[in-house]
Amino acid sequence: MTAADAITLSQNAVTITMLLSGPLLLVAMVVGLLISLFQAITQIQEMTLTFVPKIVAVMLTTIFLSSWMITKLVDYTHDLIVSIPTIIR
């Protein structure tokens, strides 16, 4: 295994991590921004108001995208396992 192989494996791992976590983080950010805007307009400064909608939105996004996420993760794992003989040479 050369340094280039290790860098490629690391890049692929980071890429798949960002690809899978990106939609969830984006949804949490948008919901947080909307709630902050709502709090600023209505001057309601309840701290717990931000957590429940974010949790629900992320949970619904996870349920909606879970099949795509599992497929991407299984494909990545399959490619990684198949490439083991070429990596250890």
Number of folded domains that form the chain: 1
Q: How far apart are CA 55 and CA 75, in angstroms?
A: 28
pLDDT band at residue 89 under the 50/70/90 scheme? confident
* Per-residue pLDDT at 26: 97
pLDDT at 32: 93
How far apart CA 65 and CA 88 sit, in angstroms, is 34
| Interval 34-74: pLDDT, tens | 999 998 898 888 877 888 999 999 999 999 999 999 999 99
Range of the domain at 64: 3-87
